[in-house]
Each structure stands twice: as structure tokens, then as C-alpha cells.
Amino acid sequence: MKSRLLTASITALLVASIAAPNLSWASQVSPAAVQAQAVPADVLARANALIARMTLEEKAGQVSQLFLFGDPTPFEPGVRSGATGALLFVTDPALINRLQKVAVEESRLGIPLLFGFDVIHGLRTIFPVPIGMAASWDPASVEQGQAIAAAEARASGIHWTFAPMLDITRDPRWGRIVEGPGEDPYLGAALARAAVKGFQGEHIGAPGHIIAGPKHFAVYGASEGGRDYDSAFVSDSQFYNVYLPPFAAAIEAGAGNVMSAYMELNDIPAAANHWLLTDVLRKQLGFEGFVVSDANGVKSLVPQGFAIDEADAAVRGLSAGNDLEMATAEAANATLPQAVRSGRLKEAVLDDAVRRVLVAKIRMGLFENPYVDEGATEAVLSAPGHRQAALAAAERSLVLLQNAGGALPLSATAYRRVAVIGPLADSAQDTLGSWVFVPKLEETVTVAEGIRRRLGESAQVTTAPGVQLRRGTPSMFEMFRPAPPAWTEAQAEVEFERAVEAARGADLVVLALGEIEQMSGEGASRTSLSLPGDQLRLVDAVKALNKPMVAVLLNGRPLDIAPLAEQVPGILEAWHPGSEGGTAVAKALFGDINPGGKLPMTWPRSVGQIPIYYSHNATKAPADQGARYWDQPSTPLYPFGYGLSYTDFAFTDIAVDRAAVRLGEPVVVTATVTNTGARAGDEVVQLYIHQRSGRAARPVRELKGFERVTLQPGESRQVRFNLTQAELRYWNAGERDWVLDPSDFDVWIGGDSRAELKTSFTVAP
């Protein structure tokens, strides 16, 4: 791969005779990563041979993907004629085989179909939502979870997933935050690598694996006001330093597909943005796979005011580098043959897109093995080890937000009557979270059920929702899971009092609060971060009973829980924890495990602080960062990287291997972390840096290393981080290039972004 970044000489700004290191993205890619993206010559030859035999209509079919809901019969003629090359939203192996047989045995060229599906955080076995997995700060856990998701998907006949979602976002009002890694590009990049490897295995076509499809390229998470689909306007510096690193990591890991975004980036729709899809994605990052639009993303170029009509949209999308169109009805790409015949589109451009799709099908082995073994599907979907892995992932995603007075863990023998109340207490769907389409709800362990199983016959566990949570507008996913009927005013009061009565008769109250799963995800942005509905009223009513109580949160975004924190001593963040979520929550509440997750996003005190993120610039008054507003503190409610434990940790002995290094040379940073408490526990050791001066103002802190460690009481461990030019470089907007500056660098190591243990080193010319 060769990088074609716009370049400017940096050596003139450094001491003469000192050669600048090669900072292009391509120079950072390992040989293994280059091999992961490289397409074997025999595969290319096979694809080219097919292209030479195809009609324009068949070529257009290969770059058209349609949704299939219900009866497949209307789709069979298009598959038979070669007008449809890919389908999505089919998970029934028998149905997949039926359609695949039409493609392979009844179409002229016998090109198999490519089946995609939203395998976001599991298929049958559901893992925590992605922001919850990010809270584990454990790439190995992410890799394992997505490998299991891939195995279940492949056993069902699915070849490709529209995941991982890698949109960095700093606005928790945005609904799709639940699908992503949070606010930090370094953490996001680490999780991106893990997810791609989990989905794809060692190579595209590995047995039991599927093609990964990182999305949404790019900057979707910066939509204005946190409103879904709205335009994003970012500087070059933000684009390269914040939003692009997770995608670069996914591509270096070998991702076979990338999905383009809906919104306009700096006024140019992402689905037809040549600079984005060709100059950046292919030329700078070296991507060799195929690009797919989001649903109707090509057709959307018309209402976005970019294309004249759908035929124009198809030409402009394909010409920009969007190979495959995903459409809910007839694809705009069906008009491409006429565009070629009229001279509006070069056939070579169409051939390039077709070639990328065919390469994916060849590498997946679909020509040799187009069908799925229907008899083997259920055994994979119900494998016991999958549930065990989902439980472990849920445990690692838990974040202890508050533990005043040591309220947690609870004694499993001290309470005879336990009330688990709140709208999320016993809801299977809300335990699983959004983007879950084919689960077995009866297999889901809710918070109430998890506590009931944990306590067994030693305690009576009662549950009541107390409050009904509903969106103000219908969810786009209600076609799959309609919202229950709204309570009448009288019914709402009866249910509220029933929950209060359950609390009154209990020795312990566990409040299960937060958001229903339809309150986050696509089309689920919010103007407020407060606990919705009458949940705080329920908290007030329980508080008045003077009963011991703790709270568990199930949600897909940071919430304004300051009023809750004032009343409830112990608060455990569970996100939407998946199939075994209730089991994990109960184990944490009663001390069988020690929560060790950390927040992947800063939690604001109120919506008025947004955007608030840890890696901001210093401004002219760096000592006054906490007093930017006069009506409330400017500091967050919980900082990035934050999470408590049932034990305590101390950080000591921070050191660098060299106090001064030359430009481009690595620095090794070490520190010792010790469990000073009485329980075993996990700590996520985090390393942050700050460049004091240079050719641009740099953030006050940037995460550049982390490691999750498990320590027994009294145990110490030295952690080691290697800071290379990959960690110290940055994109300089003035020079439009990657640069390394001679400067003094501060380094902190600790348990969150407020880490105090500090050292420094100097990078000399």
C-alpha cells in the first residue's frame, strides 16, 4: 500500500540534518495487516473471468442488495435473472438455502448470493450492547464475543455482518452511541481490531466466521445536536485525530467491508463522497474490500439535495467509491446499465465495484460451498459455552458508579424479603438491548430473575415495574417488537402503588432503572439525559420508606443521574447486559464477583454541558477548567475511564526508561499497581500523555495505553507501556500531514482520566 496523504515537508521545521520519520498511515501497517487486505492473484483472475462473461444487467445485480421481509417468492425472479446479488435480513437456514439454490442452479452464471445481517452483539446468544462491551476495556472479551456471534451467524447461513460500529461520539444525546466504543479514538481502535478479528478469524473465509463491516464511514457520531442523520462538520484535525483511528485499525486488521454513512460530511454526503471513499479509505488507508451503503443511502442522495434523481444518485455513489447499494425496495443501481450505455458512467468503474463484491464471495468460499447445513444450526446456536461467555462478558462490562458507605456488596443472608422494582426489573427485551432481532426471550435472565436464582429459597423475591417507560414517538423497530399498550392513568397509579407496596414489605429494595432498549439505537436521539418517566418519583417514594436500597441501571448512553446519586448509596451500571445479564448483576450485587469495568465516555452533570469530553484543549486559562459555567461545576459527574471497585488500588513507581529520546524513538513507561484492599479485583491501568508545546495546541490528556489486570489482596504488578511514534504523532491541520514534534511530554498512570501519578520525558530533534 502507498499512502497519498497531502504532504508538506516537516524537516524544515526541525533541526537541520535530522530526518523526519515516515509518519504516513501506510508506514504504520504491519506486514500481517498488509497481507490481510491483499487480494490473492488467483482470486482476482477468477473474478475477472466472471466479469468478462457478464451482461451490464448482471453487473448491476452484483452491486444491488435488497431487504427480504416475509415471503421470498417475489425475490426469486430477480435472483434467477442475476438482477440481485445480495440479500439481508434473512436468518432462516432453509430460506437461505432456497434462495441460494435459485442463484447457483437457476441463474445463467451461477453466482451465489451474499447474505448479510445486523449481528451487532450476538445472534441467539446476546452479549452486552457494544458500549457495554467497551466498558470492559477488554479487547479479548470483545474478540471472543464477536467470534461466538460469527459462529452462530455462519451456522445460520449468514456471511457478513454490519458491524462493528466504530463511530466516535461525544454527544450522548445521539441514539446510536449504544452501538459504538464511546468517545476515545485509542480505546475505539483497540476494540475495532478485536471485533474484526472476532468476526473474521485469521482471514476472510475462515470456517465459522463472517465478513466484518465496520461502519459508518465516517464521522456519523458527530452529527449536529446529536440528531440522527444530521450533517457533520469537522476539521481535518478532528477527522484524522479523533474519528478515523478506529476505522484505520479495523482496516489494518483486515476488515473485508466498510459501510458508508448516511449524513453529509462537510456538506458532501458520505455515500457519494469521493474524497472520503476513494482518497481516504482506499488510497490513504489501503482498503481493498467492498463498500456498502447504509439502508437506502444511495437513494437518500436525492432528498439530501445532492442528486437529481435515483439514476443520478446511482452514478454518483458508484463513481465516488460506494460499490454495493443496500435498498429496501428496487435498487437505484438497477439504472446503471442505462448509465453505461448513455456514457454517463464508464463500464470500468462498474467493473471495479463488481470485482470487489465477487472477490468477497470467492474468498468466503461460496462458489464451492454455497449452502448451509440446516441440521447443524441449532447445535451451534444453543452451545452451552456461548452462554458462559456471554455471562463473563456481562460481568466484565459492569461499572460501579457509586458505593457510599460500602453499601455494596450486599449480604446474601441478611435479607429475607427482597423487592426488585422498576421498569427494567423483569423485562427480557430491555435486558438484551437494541439491535436484537432473533432472540429467545424466554432464555433471557432479567435482573429480578438473576437475583431470584442467586438467593434461591433463602429469600422471597418480589418484582413490580412501578413505572411504564414509553418513547414520545414510535420506534423505527416497532415492526419487529411492537410497544405494549400504554397504561391508562388509573392503571399507572395502580402499578406505581403496587411497586411501592412491594418495597414496603421488603427488607431490601433493588431499583432497576434507566431506559428501555428502544430509547437508544437508530432513530433514538434524545433532548434530555434525565431518567425518563416517573422513575425519580418511584425513587422518592421508596426513599421515604427508609429501607436499605441500591440501584441498577440498564441503559444505552450516559444519563443524568445526579438526583438518583443523592438518594441511593450504591449504583451499579449494567448497560443492556444481554442473555445472562441478570445473572451477572446478581453476582456483582452479592459480592460473588467484583465489578471492574470503566466508563468509555464522560458522564455529564446535565445536558447543558454537552459536549464534554476529557481530551479537550487547555484554553488560555488552564488552571480554571472547572469553572466554565457559573451555575454549576464544569467538571463531569463521572470522568472518562471511571469505575469503582469493592477493593482499593494504589499506583506507585512510575518511570520512563529514558528521560530524553530522539524524534521517532520509543519510550517505555512502567508503573506498579497494588491491590491495597481485602478483596480480589480488577483494575484497568490507564496511561495518558500531554504534549506541552509544538506546532499545534494538543489535548490536556490523551489515552495512549491501558491494561486490565486482576490482583489478589496485597498483590502488586508492574505494568509496561511502549510509546512509539504511532502514539506521539498527530495530524497537523496547518501542514495537512502527520507530524512529530520535539517537546516535553507529561505522562500519567492511574485508574481513570484524572490519574495523578506523573512523570515526563523529552523528545529532542
Structure confidence by residue, pLDDT tens digits, 567-615: 999 999 999 999 999 999 999 999 999 999 999 999 999 999 999 999 9
Mean pLDDT of the region 34-56: 93
Query: Which residue type occupies 512?
Result: A
Residue 160: name the closest of 79, 95, 67, 256 by CA. 256
- Per-residue pLDDT of 352-362, as tens digits, reads 999 999 999 99
* SS3 of the chain: helix, strand, coil, percent, to 5: 35, 20, 45
Same domain, 102 and 123: yes
Same domain, 243 and 389: no
pLDDT band at 476 (very low <50, low <70, confident <90, very high): confident
Helix or strand holding residue 139 (H, E)? helix 139-156
CATH of the domain at 573: 3.40.50.1700
Give the integer Cα–Cα distance in Å for 377 and 696.
Answer: 55
Instruction: Kindly tell me if the per-residue pLDDT of 419 is higher than 80.
Output: yes
Same domain, 274 and 164: yes
Instruction: Kindly tell me if the per-residue pLDDT of 28 is higher than 80.
Output: no
Give the integer Cα–Cα distance in Å for 543 and 538.
Answer: 8
Report the DSSP pairing between strands 549-554 and 570-573: parallel
- Per-residue pLDDT of 209-228, as tens digits, reads 999 999 999 999 999 999 99
Instruction: Kindly tell me if the per-residue pLDDT of 314 is higher than 80.
Output: yes
Instruction: Kindly tell me if the per-residue pLDDT of 262 is higher than 60.
Output: yes
Q: Is 729:712 a contact under the CB 8 Å cutoff?
A: no
Same domain, 449 and 539: yes
pLDDT band at 632 (very low <50, low <70, confident <90, very high): confident
Instruction: Kindly tell me if the per-residue pLDDT of 14 is higher than 80.
Output: no
In-domain check, residue 608: no
Query: Which residue type occupies 570?
Result: G
- The pLDDT value given to residue 6: 32
In-domain check, residue 329: yes
Same domain, 592 and 728: no
In-domain check, residue 333: yes
Cell of 288: 481493498
**Beta carbons within 10 angstroms of residue 369's beta carbon:** 12
Same domain, 354 and 288: yes
- The pLDDT value given to residue 25: 54
pLDDT band at 427 (very low <50, low <70, confident <90, very high): very high
Instruction: Kindly tell me if the per-residue pLDDT of 17 is higher than 90.
Output: no
- The pLDDT value given to residue 10: 30
In-domain check, residue 611: no
**Beta carbons within 10 angstroms of residue 457's beta carbon:** 5
Give the integer Cα–Cα distance in Å for 132 and 398.
Answer: 8
Instruction: Among 599, 626, 661, give the residue marking a domain's end.
Output: 599
Same domain, 369 and 401: no
Give the integer Cα–Cα distance in Å for 62 and 65.
Answer: 8
Q: State what percent of residues in the chain have pLDDT above 70.
A: 95
Chain-centroid distance of CA 588 in Å reads: 24
Residue 294: name the closest of 252, 320, 322 by CA. 322
Same domain, 555 and 464: yes
- Per-residue pLDDT of 144-167, as tens digits, reads 999 999 999 999 999 999 999 999
- The pLDDT value given to residue 30: 57
In-domain check, residue 623: no
pLDDT band at 1 (very low <50, low <70, confident <90, very high): very low
- The pLDDT value given to residue 649: 98
- The pLDDT value given to residue 482: 86
Same domain, 409 and 540: yes
pLDDT band at 627 (very low <50, low <70, confident <90, very high): confident
CATH of the domain at 30: 3.20.20.300
In-domain check, residue 639: no
In-domain check, residue 637: no
Instruction: Kindly tell me if the per-residue pLDDT of 620 is higher than 90.
Output: no
Instruction: Kindly tell me if the per-residue pLDDT of 20 is higher than 80.
Output: no
**Beta carbons within 10 angstroms of residue 52's beta carbon:** 8
Mean pLDDT of the region 404-424: 97
Q: Is 383 exposed, middle or buried (0-12, 13-18, 19+ CB in 10 A)?
A: middle
Residue 605: name the closest of 632, 645, 626, 582 by CA. 632
Same domain, 217 and 317: yes
The label of the residue with cell 458522564 reads 603
Same domain, 254 and 391: no
pLDDT band at 622 (very low <50, low <70, confident <90, very high): confident
- The pLDDT value given to residue 480: 84
Residue 378's contacts (CB-CB under 8 Å, 6 or more residues apart) are none
- Per-residue pLDDT of 544-570, as tens digits, reads 999 999 999 999 999 999 999 999 999
Q: What residues are annotated to the active site? A: 294
Helix or strand holding residue 731 (H, E)? strand 730-732
- Collapse the DSSP code of 557 into the 3-class scheme (helix H, G, I; strand E, B; otherwise coil) and give the result: coil
Q: Is 478 exposed, middle or buried (0-12, 13-18, 19+ CB in 10 A)?
A: exposed
Instruction: Kindly tell me if the per-residue pLDDT of 326 is higher than 90.
Output: yes
- Collapse the DSSP code of 763 into the 3-class scheme (helix H, G, I; strand E, B; otherwise coil) and give the result: strand
Mean pLDDT of the region 72-83: 97
Same domain, 257 and 109: yes
- Per-residue pLDDT of 496-534, as tens digits, reads 999 999 999 999 999 999 999 999 999 999 999 999 999
Residue 518's contacts (CB-CB under 8 Å, 6 or more residues apart) are 434, 471, 475, 477, 478, 483, 524
- The pLDDT value given to residue 31: 65
Which segments of 89-188 are extended strands (E)? 114-117, 160-161
Alpha helices (runs of H) in 321-401, residue ranges in sequence order:
336-342, 347-363, 377-381, 384-397
Quote the domain boundaries for residue 283. 11-339+348-377
- What is the domain count for the chain? 3
In whole numbers, what is the pLDDT of the chain averaged over residues? 94
In-domain check, residue 661: yes
